[in-house]
Amino acid sequence: MNPVKFPNGNLEMAANLCLPEAFDEAGTYAGIVVVHPGGGVKEQTAGGYARRLAAEGFVALAFDASFQGESGGAPRFQEDPYARVNDVRAAVDYLTTLDFVDNERIGALGICAGGGYAIHATMTDRRIKAVGGVSAVNIGDMFRKGWTGDSDVAQAIGLLEMGAAQRTAEANGGEAAFVPFSPPSLEGVEERDMQEAYDYYRTQRAQHCNTESKFTAVSLPQLVTYDAFHLADQLLTRPLQLVVGREAGSFWYSETILAKAASSVKELHVVEGATHMSLYDTPNQMEEAMSKLGPFYRANLAA
């Protein structure tokens, strides 16, 4: 695993480049961009999957989103979904500069919101030849409909009001405000996935100094109005492999994109007993995910 930097417009992006064990710089490899969840960083689940992809013989690049982690950009902790998709394109740009990566064999893998971003990037960047999602989430639907898809439009309108009010406050000299991606405590948290989000992001399980698991309140208008799966019935023609936990409240996002995708090659693999976030770092569940993802990328990124 090698720390690397690459440009993204005027920003400098930070990433870890994971190489196969028997890596030969004179060789040629398929490359896979790995996209972390909202509020995450490359050192967490994205890095775990990147290392496993490298063990399968791929060159894998796990990077920090712009405005987050060790990547550049201000304001810090901004979660602009369109910037996030452009980050994936910039990561693909970087892979194309590596002599040992075959430009015709580039794929993407995203986890949680990163899954939605990876899918959207694949629709808009034909250099990406295959895409995978683990516990994939359409972050726009999450803010409009709630984690389990049962919230009404009043929630979305309220979030738009919050974002508008914060823009006014900051325009008039107020301080930046932030919204937590994961619960800052377990008080009043009843949803199983949200309890596990606290455990993953807020405890020694996976807490990392490069992220505070939050985003700027002024990001809300972009998030509420974003749709990672827009036009997937027309433009998502690349092979698609999804992995989701049977017990995940986010299961419906994977079902939605599976049904909508125009891909002729598409599959949803369900890990029995797994939750949304247990797929982030539970070794046997990650290995089951890789038992589908490894062969998927080998078949669809073949030389």
pLDDT tens-place string over residues 127-179 = 999 999 999 999 999 999 999 999 999 999 999 999 999 999 999 999 999 99
Q: What is the pLDDT of residue 142?
A: 97
**pTM, full prediction:** 0.97
With CA atoms as reference, report the closest residue to 13 among 87, 80, 71: 71
The CATH class for the domain spanning 2-146+227-300 reads alpha beta
Query: CA dihedral defined by 264, 81, 146, 185, rounded to 10 degrees?
Result: 130
Integer Cα distance of 124 and 131 in angstroms: 12
Q: What is the pLDDT of residue 187?
A: 96
Q: Number of C-alpha atoms within 13 angstroms, CB side, residue 35?
A: 36
pLDDT category at 59 given cuts 50, 70, 90 is very high
pLDDT tens-place string over residues 200-218 = 999 999 999 999 999 999 9
Integer Cα distance of 179 and 269 in angstroms: 32
pLDDT over 90 at 293, yes or no: yes
Give the mean model confidence (pLDDT) for residues 106-132.
Answer: 98
Mean per-residue pLDDT over the chain, rounded: 97
pLDDT tens-place string over residues 35-51 = 999 999 999 999 999 99
Q: What is the pLDDT of residue 303?
A: 79
Domain boundaries, the chain: 2-146+227-300
Give the mean model confidence (pLDDT) for residues 58-62.
Answer: 98
